[in-house]
Amino acid sequence: MLGAALLGAQARPAVKKKTAPPPPAAARTFPIASLTVEGNRIHSTAKILALAGLRTGMPVSKEAFEAARDKLLQCGFFESVGYQYRPSADGAGYAAAFTVVEVQQVYPVHFERLPEGAAELKAVLAKADPLFGEQVPGTEPVLKRYAALLQRHLGAKLDDRVVGKVSAGENPETLRIVFQPATMPPSVAEVRFVKNSVLDSTTLQNRVAGAAVGSVYEEKKFRQILDANIRPLYENRGRIRVAFPKITVEPVTDVNGLKVTVEVDEGETFTLGEVQITTSDIPAAQLLKAANLKKGDIANFDEINSGIERIRQVYRRAGFLNAKANVERKPDDKNKTVDLAVEVSSGDRYTFRKLNIAGLDILTEPHIRKMYTAKPGEPFNPEYPDYFMARLKEDNVLENLGKTRVEIKTDDGAKAADVTLHFR
């Protein structure tokens, strides 16, 4: 019986004991002997490596390089990131290099309706991200990461969520990144004016409607709309002290918007006082005559601006193509007059260099060239080529004259201008 039992035991297959797998071999680490970045043009090598978290002397393995690469890829500043490493020349560590392709399209950073100023909020982002600057990419990782940083910093100061987006600025052609609360404030549904008499409310409402109605209401921006659209209407009537002392808002019941009521202080009418011109190259008396601004007239700044433009035209005709005029107002509230101090900066003088004529036969071209009285080396008058072509048409110098065109090319380096007259 014992033998049979033993035989039976021997007939059963042996049960193997389960053993734990051997522990994985520890990743071998070596110090970084040298570390470079290739392909970067916008961001410095030091800032990229600071974000990657690597530095020379640090013991690393392949996994550390992969983690650094992933961190750079996820930050939103790079389209691609690669790396390579090999033993250093002395064999004591790694010689490593990252290759990056940066996101080229970047935008200026703005903050709206947040409880802290731009300088403080930019400092928060700069401290958290070495790559932060005045302009950053508008990629989703950047927008989300910066919005979260601002949200965490502002904490209880903001009872809302911070979001970032790329949007148009005051100039529709200029894009920017804006961080702001997620909940948008109500928009302007209606604008009313009170205490106005010089200009009727309908005129004022029509002038401001396109810029104000439908826009998100913020008092600072709304006042900018008033200054850009309403103030000129009054200044053209000599009301240079027009003011908007009180702006009130209330919800409109039938739409999701606000009724904005603007109190207008129209001020009194000012007349034009003395006009003083600080100039060089051209006598002030000649410029005053060209401006045709008369002392004692209502200080109509539409006409005043036209007079300043006539001063610039005098300079342009004398070859000073980039002349600028700065106007300082000097109001006298007691006498209700406003003096003007006009400072003209003439800039460089351009000369006429060459006349080209296209579209005429070899017999006609010399005749037209002889009629063109501007001479090479003389101050360039940019109005003369168009004047010359107009006179040719008026005097019927050329029969069957078709479409004509004037082309002016300036050489800023040589301060010269070439003219091409195109005939058909």
pLDDT tens sequence for the chain (424 residues): 333 333 333 334 444 455 555 444 445 789 999 999 999 999 999 999 999 999 999 999 999 999 999 999 999 999 999 999 999 988 889 999 999 999 999 999 999 989 999 999 999 999 999 999 999 999 999 999 999 999 999 999 999 999 999 998 766 678 999 999 998 888 999 999 999 999 999 999 999 999 999 988 989 889 999 999 999 999 999 999 999 999 999 998 877 799 999 999 999 999 999 999 998 899 999 999 999 999 999 999 999 999 999 999 999 999 999 999 999 999 999 999 999 999 999 999 999 999 999 999 999 999 999 999 999 999 999 999 999 999 999 999 998 888 999 999 999 999 999 999 999 8
Same domain flag for 261 and 217 = yes
Are 122 and 177 in a shared domain? yes
Q: What is the pLDDT of residue 7?
A: 32
Which candidate, 280, 281, 417, places its Cα nearest to that of 350? Answer: 417
Same domain? For 163 and 191 the reply is: no
Q: pLDDT at position 402, please?
A: 85
Residues 98, 111 share a domain:
no
Q: Does the residue 45 lie in any domain?
A: yes
The residue among 50, 84, 102 that closes a domain is 102
In sequence order, the 6+-apart residues with CB closer than 8 A to the CB of 114 are: 121, 150, 154, 158, 162, 179, 180, 181
Provide the number of structural domains found in the chain.
Answer: 5
**11 in any annotated domain:** no
Q: Which residue, among 149, 141, 152, has the nearest Cα to 70 in the 3D structure?
A: 141
Residue 365, in any domain of the structure: yes
- Alpha-carbon distance of 376 to 367, in angstroms, equals 17
Whether residues 254 and 288 share a domain: the answer is no
My answer on whether 175 and 121 are in the same domain is yes
pLDDT of residue 14: 44
Q: Is residue 375 domain-shared with residue 309, that is, in the same domain?
A: no
pLDDT of residue 162: 96
> Does a structural domain hold residue 314?
yes
pLDDT at 52: 95
CATH of the domain at 97: 3.10.20.310
Which of 278, 273, 279, 285 has its CA nearest to residue 320? 279
Phi and psi dihedrals of 104, rounded to 5?
-80, -35
Q: Would 22 be classed as within a structural domain?
A: no
Question: Are 388 and 370 in the same domain?
Answer: yes
Tell which of 232, 265, 298 closes a domain. 265
Domain range for 396 is 352-422
The answer to the question of residue 375 being in a domain is yes
110 plus 98 within the same structural domain = no
Give DSSP secondary structure letters for 70-108: HHHHHTSSEEEEEEEEEE-TTSSSEEEEEEEEE---EEE
Query: Does 170 lie in the same domain as 214?
Result: no
Token look-up 């300088």 returns 119
Give the CATH number of the domain where residue 136 resides: 3.10.20
Look at residue 231 and tell me if it is in a domain.
Answer: yes
Instruction: Choose one of 102, 122, 153: the last residue of a domain.
Output: 102
